[in-house]
Chains A and B, each alone.
Chain A
Amino acid sequence: EVQLVESGGGLVQPGGSLRLSCAASGFTVSSNYMSWVRQAPGKGLEWVSLIYSGGSTYYADSVKGRFAISRDNSKNTLYLQMNSLRPEDTAVYYCTFSGYWGQGTLVTVSS
């Protein structure tokens, strides 16, 4: 059974950093393309970043240069390193793979 479990969210001040994790089971992270998607409070879904099986990475313009997606094959885990956080980055962050979604982790950027 495929499972995705996000963690690492929390309250952070503007300009701060957080690293989100997505622990996967039931499939191999490195063999598939995976994405991070976020949802600001009361808003729609916004794609943030993706990583292909070959390792190529892509980012939405809103996070380019500040966020970095990566994976640890030995842990079968996806990461999102978020730097220079802004209040507008406040959202629930989901990792997703082929139609499967985790439960999300809330990131709040506020002073």
Chain B
Amino acid sequence: DIVMTQSPLSLPVTLGQPASISCRSSQSLVHSDGNTYLNWFQQRPGQSPRRLIYKVSNRDSGVPDRFSGSGSGTDFTLKISRVEAEDVGVYYCMQGTHLLTFGGGTKVEIK
């Protein structure tokens, strides 16, 4: 089974400052079809998860361009260029290359 490891667990950030979340997989997420199925989700308090990024770096419709995803193979990053108050919540990476596995989550809060 693929294990997804996120860091940090908690990320206090100042409004307007950048933030970065790391996600590492225990094996390569490159699928036999050539795609890398690594997604990022945001879960605001009391809400269902919302997908932000799919296949490493593709933003979903309606997602602000301050969110970006990058990486390859086993190392991936979600970046928020300038954190806003509405970005508070827990962020999860998820691999879909071999079944599904979620990372443990990173809680983003405002300092």
A interface, CB within 8 angstroms of B: 35, 37, 44-47, 50, 58, 61, 94, 96, 99-104
**Contact in complex: A45, B105 (CB < 8 Å):** yes
Known: A99-B51, A101-B49. A44 touches B99 (CB 8 A): no
**A-contacting residues, B22-59, CB 8 Å:** 39, 41, 43, 48-51, 54
Known: A99-B39, A99-B60, A101-B49. A44 touches B104 (CB 8 A): yes
Q: How far is the CA of A47 from the CA of B50 in the complex (A)?
A: 15
Q: A46's closest neighbor in chain B, by CB?
A: B102
**Chain B's nearest CB lies how many Å from the CB of A47?**
4
**Contact in complex: A45, B102 (CB < 8 Å):** yes
Known: A50-B99, A50-B100. A101 touches B105 (CB 8 A): no
Q: How far is the CA of A99 from the CA of B51 in the complex (A)?
A: 5
13 A-B pairs (CB sep. < 8 Å): A37-B100, A44-B102, A44-B103, A45-B92, A45-B94, A45-B102, A46-B102, A47-B102, A58-B99, A61-B1, A99-B54, A101-B48, A101-B49
B interface, CB within 8 angstroms of A: 1, 39, 41, 43, 48-51, 54, 60, 90, 92, 94, 99-105
Residue from the list B1, B48, B51, B60 in contact with A94, Cβ < 8 A: B48
Q: A58's closest neighbor in chain B, by CB?
A: B99
Known: A44-B92, A45-B92, A99-B60. A94 touches B99 (CB 8 A): no
**Chain B's nearest CB lies how many Å from the CB of A96?**
8
**Contact in complex: B92, A104 (CB < 8 Å):** no
**Contact in complex: A44, B105 (CB < 8 Å):** yes
